[in-house]
Every structure is written in structure tokens, then in C-alpha cells.
């Protein structure tokens, strides 16, 4: 009981709304407190089998299918939170307080996963249909990033989860980034040496790598390029994750690895340059209410220690932290119970597209991926560094930017 009270004081885990992060704390502690503020309401409720009872489901004012969207909002929240915190759950180091916090989250996660796939549980989730394919893939990504969670789930949970993932095969993905949702679920099966459908991986990987690269570190989302953040929300982190897992499989997808690494590095440079000196970033394209999830790719590159040499880890940390603070400190970001509101800088419901629910908003959790790095990593231990916008707009001289020229296919 003593450590639980201390944990609640330090991190807010015992209640939905954590205290505002203390800017005098270490960078890692600051990130943990923001992560806790976002993730705790979802996992604590689902571990108790009452997410559906307690999570408010606010739908976009422009919603396209209120009944269907309402049902899948809970899988959205769960899958997206888990994809963001999975690497940290898989870790083992940190201060005594951090380790206690991780143990609490591991307990919540195990119980939440059990409820998610148990047909008898109140929080049994919707697995069949269009949107469930999307968010089942985020959960699959979470389990790829966090082997601990899979390995510590009992055989009943594992069997139920496999059945849930298999049920998503009845959904035909759209001819765009959705191909990678199907591919990621099959990649989960591949990672854990379960029967998998190689064609569902191959088709998505080849479409992007052979047909949909448009140049200078960017893929189109299907046959046409869109000026949005889907290269970061989904495309590039998913491609990198799929190739990382399947490189030893017979599909020969590893032949794309070197080329993808060049593309990933260029896009990381672009992402870092899009972060303004105050942590804001261009408000362009759909799904902008995913807040810091717009930098899933940059966070993933830091986690995988794949950043280009021009981006020191501490510089990326400083830039991402500015985004975290800009988007999560804005008044109105959370409701009085601690759940996320629709918006980018506070409550801005008109920014939400036709498919957005409260659950959708939790894609912002993906910015916390670097917490999966050890506390001793340079990302955390090096002094803060100004990022590109800070340097240039404060008058510092700085090398010019240059495009990446590689063959389109």
C-alpha cells in the first residue's frame, strides 16, 4: 500500500488525471507524467472491465456512421494506447518509481487484454468490420513492440486474441494505407511463429515500395499523394516494423530494407523541420486531431535508433517534447474526468473528420515510443538541444536542406 500511495503521488496512476508535469523534473520523468495522463484512464478502466461504462464516446459532428463508430471507439482507444506504450512496458530499467509505475501498467495491460478478447467480459471489443481492422493492427503492433505482454498472457488469452485477429481477415482493406493494417496483423503471426498469410504482407509492401513512392522521402497514400501526416501516422512506421520482423522469413522482403532506410531517414529530417520553435506544426490534412501522433515516425526512428546523423537524439527529444507540451497543455485538451477532447490545441470539435471518435484521439500515445529506450540512452541523458526551427529562427547559421533523389521504383 505504501508504494502505491507514493506512485499515485508521483505519477497520478491511481486516478485518471495526473498532476501537471513539473518542468524541473528530468526529461524522462516529464514524458512519463504526460504518458500517464493520457494512458491511465483507458487502461485503468479496461483492466476493471468498465471501459465501456466509463469512457465518454463523443463522435465527430460530421460522423458518417454513428452506430458503428460508437461500438469500435473502445478498440480504438485500447489499441492505440498500447501501440504507444508497448516499448516502455517491455523495458525493465528506470528509477524505483518508474519501475513501480511500469509494474502497475503491466498489471492493467494484462487484465485489459484479457477483457478485450473474452466474449463474456463487459469490455469485449468489436473485432469484425472496417474500423476494427485498423485498430486490431495497432494492437498487433503493440504486441510486436512488447513481447513481454504476449509472453505473460495465459493460453486462453492468447487463443482468444489469435481468434480475434483471424476474424479481421474477413475485411477487405482499402487500396491505400489500409493494406498495411492487414500486413501488420500477419506480421504479428509471423513474429510469434504462428501460421500467417504471406500474401497480405507482400501485397502492401510491394505496392508502397514499387509503386507508391513519389520521391523526397514520401509515399502516396494509394494512387494519389495527399499532403497530410499519413506517412507518419501509419505508412513509414508500419513498413519499417513489418520489414524488421519479417527479414528472416521466406518472403524476401528484406530486399527493400536499405531503400526504405534512406526514405525513413529523409522523412525524419522533414518531420523534425516541421516542428516550429514553439512546438506547433503545420495544420494540414485529415486526422489532425491525432495531435502528437503526427510524429509517430520521428518517435519510432528514435526508438529504433535509426535517426540520420544530422539529427542528434537529444535534439529530437527536445523537439518532440515541445510538441507534447504544445498539444497536451492547451486548455480544454482533457475533460474534467481526464479523457481527451476532440481537437489539436484544446477542444476544437470541428477539426474532427467523419470517422473520429473519442477513441481515435488516443493515437497521440505514439509520440511516447522513445520511453522504450533505456534511461541510460543518449536520447535521455544528453542535455537538451535546439531543433532546426529554434536554431534558424534565432539567427543561427545552419546548413541548407536538400532533397533525397533515389529511383522511384
* Cα–Cα distance, 19 to 205 (Å, whole number): 43
State residue 249's pLDDT score: 84
State residue 408's pLDDT score: 79
Find, among 268, 253, 254, the residue nearest to 369 by Cα: 268
Is the per-residue pLDDT at 325 higher than 80?
yes
* 359-408 pLDDT per residue, tens: 999 999 999 999 999 999 999 999 999 999 999 999 999 999 999 999 87
Residue with cell 496512476: 13
State residue 22's pLDDT score: 53
Give the three-class secondary structure for 110: helix
Cell reading at 233: 501516422
Give the model's confidence band at 252: pLDDT under 50 very low, under 70 low, under 90 confident, else very high: confident
* Cα–Cα distance, 116 to 163 (Å, whole number): 12
Over residues 86-101, the mean pLDDT reads: 97
State residue 251's pLDDT score: 80
Is the per-residue pLDDT at 218 higher than 90?
yes
pTM, to two decimals: 0.94
* Cα–Cα distance, 273 to 141 (Å, whole number): 27
State residue 214's pLDDT score: 97
* Cα–Cα distance, 36 to 17 (Å, whole number): 8
* 143-199 pLDDT per residue, tens: 999 999 999 999 999 999 999 999 999 999 999 999 999 999 999 999 999 999 999
% of the chain with per-residue pLDDT over 90: 92
* Cα–Cα distance, 220 to 105 (Å, whole number): 37
Over residues 236-253, the mean pLDDT reads: 93
Is the per-residue pLDDT at 13 higher than 50?
no
**How is 310-322 classified by DSSP, letter by letter?**
TS-HHHHHHHHHH
**Residue count (the chain):** 409
User: What contacts 24+ positions apart, CB below 8 Å, involve 213-218?
Assistant: 213/263, 213/408, 213/409, 214/408, 215/403, 215/404, 215/405, 215/408, 216/266, 216/270, 216/403, 216/404, 216/405, 217/263, 217/264, 217/265, 217/266, 217/267, 217/269, 217/270, 217/404, 218/267, 218/270
Is the per-residue pLDDT at 19 higher than 70?
no
* 340-352 pLDDT per residue, tens: 999 999 999 999 9
CATH class assigned to 2-393: mainly alpha
* 282-319 pLDDT per residue, tens: 999 999 999 999 999 999 999 999 999 999 999 999 99
State residue 17's pLDDT score: 37
Is the per-residue pLDDT at 238 higher than 90?
yes
Mean pLDDT of the chain: 94
Among 37-41, 141-145, 246-250, 380-384, where is mean pLDDT lowest? 246-250
Amino acid at each position: 500500500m505504501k508504494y502505491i500511495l507514493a506512485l499515485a503521488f508521483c505519477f497520478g496512476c491511481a486516478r485518471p488525471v495526473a498532476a501537471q508535469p513539473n518542468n524541473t523534473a528530468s526529461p524522462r520523468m516529464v514524458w512519463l507524467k504526460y504518458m500517464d495522463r493520457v494512458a491511465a484512464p483507458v487502461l485503468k478502466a479496461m483492466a476493471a472491465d468498465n471501459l465501456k461504462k466509463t469512457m465518454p464516446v463523443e463522435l465527430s459532428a460530421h460522423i458518417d456512421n454513428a452506430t458503428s463508430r460508437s461500438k469500435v471507439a473502445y478498440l480504438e482507444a485500447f489499441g492505440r494506447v498500447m501501440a504507444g506504450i508497448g516499448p516502455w512496458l517491455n523495458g525493465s530499467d528506470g528509477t524505483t518509481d518508474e519501475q513501480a509505475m511500469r509494474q502497475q501498467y503491466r498489471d492493467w495491460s494484462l487484465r485489459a487484454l484479457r477483457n478485450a478478447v473474452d466474449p463474456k467480459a463487459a469490455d469485449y471489443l468489436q473485432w469484425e468490420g472496417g474500423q476494427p481492422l485498423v485498430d486490431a493492427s495497432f494492437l498487433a503492433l503493440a504486441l510486436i513492440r512488447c513481447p513481454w505482454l504476449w509472453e505473460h498472457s495465459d493460453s486462453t488469452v492468447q487463443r482468444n486474441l489469435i481468434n480475434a485477429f483471424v476474424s479481421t481477415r474477413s475485411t477487405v482493406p482499402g487500396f491505400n494505407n489500409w493494406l498495411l493494417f492487414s500486413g501488420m496483423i500477419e506480421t504479428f503471426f509471423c513474429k510469434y511463429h504462428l501460421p500467417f498469410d504471406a500474401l497480405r504482407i507482400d501485397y502492401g509492401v510491394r505496392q508502397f515500395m514499387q509503386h507508391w513512392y513519389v520521391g523526397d522521402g514520401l509515399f502516396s497514400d494509394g494512387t494519389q499523394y495527399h499532403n497530410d501526416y499519413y506517412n507518419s501516422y501509419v505508412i513509414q512506421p508500419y513498413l519499417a516494423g513489418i520489414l524488421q520482423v519479417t527479414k528472416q522469413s521466406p518472403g524476401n522482403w528484406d530486399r527493400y530494407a536499405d531503400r526504405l532506410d534512406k526514405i525513413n531517414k529523409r522523412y525524419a529530417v522533414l518531420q523534425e523541420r516541421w516542428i516550429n520553435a514553439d512546438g506547433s506544426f503545420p495544420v494540414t490534412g485529415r486526422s489532425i486531431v491525432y495531435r502528437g501522433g503526427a510524429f509517430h515516425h520521428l518517435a519510432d526512428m528514435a526508438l529504433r535508433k535509426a535517426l540520420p546523423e544530422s539529427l542528434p537524439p537529444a535534439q529530437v527529444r527536445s523537439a518532440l517534447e515541445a510538441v507534447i507540451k504544445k498539444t497536451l497543455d492547451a486548455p480544454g485538451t482533457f475533460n474534467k474526468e481526464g479523457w481527451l477532447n476532440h481537437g489539436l490545441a484544446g477542444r476544437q470539435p470541428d477539426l474532427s473528420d467523419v470517422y473520429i471518435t473519442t477513441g481515435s484521439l488516443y493515437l497521440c500515445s505514439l509520440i511516447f515510443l522513445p520511453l522504450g529506450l533505456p534511461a541510460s540512452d543518449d536520447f535521455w541523458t544528453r542535455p537538451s538541444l535546439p531543433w532546426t526551427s529554434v536554431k534558424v529562427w534565432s539567427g543561427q547559421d545552419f546548413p541548407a536542406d536538400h532533397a533525397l533523389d533515389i529511383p522511384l521504383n
